[in-house]
Amino acid sequence: MNIILDFAECSGLRIRRVFREPRQCLIARSLAEVRPVLRQVAQACQTGAYAAGFVAYEAAAAFDTAALTHSPLNDFPLVCFGLYDAPLPGWEEESASIPEASKGPWQLSLTQGAYTQAVDTLRQAIAQGEAYQMNLTLRLESTFSGSSLRLYEQLRQVQDADFSAWLSWTGGALLSLSPELFFETHGNRILTRPMKGTASPENAWNLAQCPKNRAENIMIVDLLRNDLARIALSGSVAVTDLCRVEAYPTVHQMTSTVTASLKPDTDLEAIFSALFPCGSITGAPKWQAMRWIKQLENGPRGAYCGAIGWIRPGGDAQFNVPIRTLWHDVPHDRLRCGVGSGITWESQAPAEWAEIATKTRFLEGYASVDLLETLRLDLGLWELPHYHCRRLLHSVQALGFPALTAERFTEALDRFAQQYPTGSYRVRLRYNRQGNFHLEGFALSLTLQKTPQPVWLSAHPFPFDPQTMRHKTTERSLYDAVFSSQPTRCFDVLLWNERGELTEFTRGNLVLEKKGKKLTPPLSCGLLAGTLRQFLCDQGELEEHILTREDLVQADRLWFINSVRGWVPVVLKVPEE
């Protein structure tokens, strides 16, 4: 089982962790196997292993027989964890090498009329005192072919959630774009962050004060306080943040934070016994709400609304609530996604239907543009960190991103480097419109490229776009189009502008040696201010000079440079027709 976790830490910094080639997979396919598997996972982590995996919603009855659910999906595990030696900081393959994904139109499992009838049934049950709130969900389904990893990366860019995950095994894959933390433990401290209350970005101005949404959130906060009290030291349960509104590209959500100190010897099994499934996706009271869910929903939820996460050696754990989560059914080429909303007495079916539409926006949306820095990390030390920081801060101010300080940038780098003190990595740091960092790393070979690499001259001038040229962002479609248009493989493509002036490569800057001088085009020609280029200019090793295609013929040597690869000698080739 291969797993990617893009989870945020308490500081808000998101760090990618990749788990590949497990030493062992622990799977529960029956309720009787659920608790023993969790005990095995916990024991392995106490002896130095990392564990990552998921618990399906239908595993709930293993912890309390009052938790009624549908029968599990055919061949879908109730619990599945891999045991690993250590996580990697990034997926080894470049995203461009991952096959494309293709899906058909989404089909809903319920019509709006059937959904309205279900909402009315729940409101009547609430009026009769059956429950205070119940979470009603439905399914979307689509045909699908290609790479679930490529689709995950596309959706992750759109949703920009703090607890995203991709899990792949023989026959299936999970793609979770969840913004909701189920629980996180550090020593004897536990933190939960239930999420209830939703608004579209257009209507978010009223979310914080909306009585219905606040009532939904506070009900679930009370439920989580009671659940935590079962495993917490007396008097330690506390609500540290109530009804905070969090903004995401396609939706705004209301979140609260509940913390506690755990009783001695509280293990993973005990935490799941007390908390699972999370009250935010059931309702309150939990068991009564689950009885109604089983009655009105037309099938099992699977990993959706269960838990996905990881456990460190020693037992510290972090799990999400897998909302905004898709399942790729590989044998049948199907993609399924669950979505729902909390129903209270004040709920109106048209508004709940609209909320579901809001929550599914991420499935068809477009990725927002983030600021990007690509850095080299060697043995825990960063290459040119101050130059990267200066460039990023300039782009933050120029493009109107949330304010950022050099101290916060440095803290993000330090936290990542502390986790990967050995080896060499190419690290992608993204800074988004919500003011969040996301870091992921890719292992680098220490072998320096001494043999000149083949590069081609672009067949057409590169269009001038100030944002593309002067600021490094995740919007690279122009560069990618030029590179992919080459008929055969090359190391990179040399660009030139409409005035016939050389500018840069698609992934680095140009250095041309002529008559003993090392020359590089000035920024006015239309190119990115690469950090290594700027450092070398500051040191007097490079001179800025307008270069043309005629200079290529007269050049003594050519180099491709950037802060990750350093100096790479290149030779200009003519593409074969």
| 507 and 537 assigned to the same domain | yes
* 448 inside domain: no
How would you class 245 by CB atoms within 10 Å of its CB: exposed for 0-12, middle for 13-18, buried for 19 or more? Answer: middle
Other CB atoms within a 10 A radius of the CB of residue 178 amount to 22
Helix axes 531-538, 385-399, angle to 10 degrees: 110
Q: Measure the CA–CA gap between 416 and 515, rounded to whole angstroms.
A: 43
Establish how many alpha carbons lie within 13 A of residue 418's alpha carbon, considering only the half-sphere containing its beta carbon: 7
CATH number for 323:
3.60.120.10
DSSP secondary structure of 367-419: PPP-EEEEEEEETTEESSHHHHHHHHHHHHHHHTPPP--HHHHHHHHHHHHHH
- 212 phi-psi bin (left φ>0, alpha ψ -120 to 50, beta other): alpha
| 163 and 311 assigned to the same domain | yes
From 282, 302, 303, 284, select the one nearest 293 (Cα to Cα): 282
| 22 and 135 assigned to the same domain | yes
Other CB atoms within a 10 A radius of the CB of residue 374 amount to 17
From 39, 5, 44, select the one nearest 24 (Cα to Cα): 44
| 475 and 411 assigned to the same domain | no
How would you class 484 by CB atoms within 10 Å of its CB: exposed for 0-12, middle for 13-18, buried for 19 or more? Answer: exposed
Instruction: List the catalytic residues.
Output: 180, 196
First to last CA, the chain: 43
Strands 566-573 and 453-457: parallel
Q: What range defines the domain where residue 525 resides? A: 453-573
Long-range contact set of residues 260-263: C-beta below 8 Å, sequence gap at least 24: 260/189, 260/190, 260/228, 260/229, 260/231, 260/232, 260/233, 260/236, 261/188, 261/189, 261/190, 261/232, 261/233, 261/236, 262/185, 262/188, 262/189, 262/190, 262/231, 262/232, 262/233, 263/231, 263/232, 263/233
| 433 and 457 assigned to the same domain | no
Other CB atoms within a 10 A radius of the CB of residue 366 amount to 10
| 421 and 401 assigned to the same domain | yes
Q: 160 near 362, Cβ under 8 Å? A: no
The token duo for 524 is 């006015």
Q: 213 near 344, Cβ under 8 Å? A: no
Strands 557-562 and 566-573: antiparallel
CA 432 to chain CA mean position, Å: 12
* 130 inside domain: yes
| 351 and 377 assigned to the same domain | no
Count structural domains, the chain. 3
Residue environment code for 201-235, b if the CB has 16+ CB neighbours within 10 A, otherwise e: eeebeebeebeebbbbbbbbbbbbbebbeebbeee
* 129 inside domain: yes
Q: Measure the CA–CA gap between 249 and 200, rounded to whole angstroms.
A: 9
Give 360's DSSP letter.
T
The token duo for 387 is 């130059």
Strand order in the sheet with 517-520: 502-505, 492-496, 453-457, 566-573, 557-562, 509-514, 517-520, 543-544
* 183 inside domain: yes
Strands 79-84 and 50-55: antiparallel
| 321 and 174 assigned to the same domain | yes
* 354 inside domain: yes
| 388 and 357 assigned to the same domain | no
| 93 and 11 assigned to the same domain | yes
Q: Which of 363, 379, 410 is the last residue of a domain?
A: 363
Q: In sequence order, what are the residues at sequence separation of 6 or more whose Cβ sits closer than 8 angstroms to the Cβ of residue 320?
A: 7, 163, 165, 176, 178, 180, 181, 182, 307, 308, 309
* 253 inside domain: no
| 47 and 78 assigned to the same domain | yes
Strand partners, 502: 496
* 267 inside domain: no
The token duo for 279 is 């009250």
pLDDT at residue 53, rounded to an integer? 98
Q: Measure the CA–CA gap between 124 and 115, rounded to whole angstroms.
A: 14
pLDDT (tens digit, 0 to 9) for every residue of the chain, 577 residues total? Answer: 999 999 988 767 888 999 999 999 999 999 999 999 999 999 999 999 999 999 999 999 999 999 999 999 888 999 999 999 999 887 755 444 455 666 777 888 888 889 999 999 999 999 999 999 999 999 999 998 888 998 898 888 777 789 999 999 988 999 999 999 999 999 999 999 999 888 776 667 678 788 888 888 999 999 999 999 999 999 999 999 999 888 776 678 899 999 999 999 999 999 999 999 999 999 999 999 999 999 999 899 999 999 999 999 999 999 999 999 999 998 888 999 999 988 999 888 888 888 888 788 778 655 568 899 999 999 999 999 999 999 999 999 888 889 999 999 999 999 999 988 888 999 999 998 888 899 988 888 655 567 899 999 988 888 766 555 789 998 887 788 788 777 667 899 999 998 999 999 999 999 999 999 999 999 999 999 999 999 999 999 999 999 999 999 999 999 999 999 999 999 998 655 4
* 243 inside domain: no
Q: Measure the CA–CA gap between 4 and 9, rounded to whole angstroms.
A: 15
Q: Which of 363, 393, 410 is the last residue of a domain?
A: 363
CATH number for 425:
3.30.470.10
pTM attached to this predicted model: 0.76
| 315 and 439 assigned to the same domain | no
Q: Which of 419, 443, 467 is the last residue of a domain?
A: 443
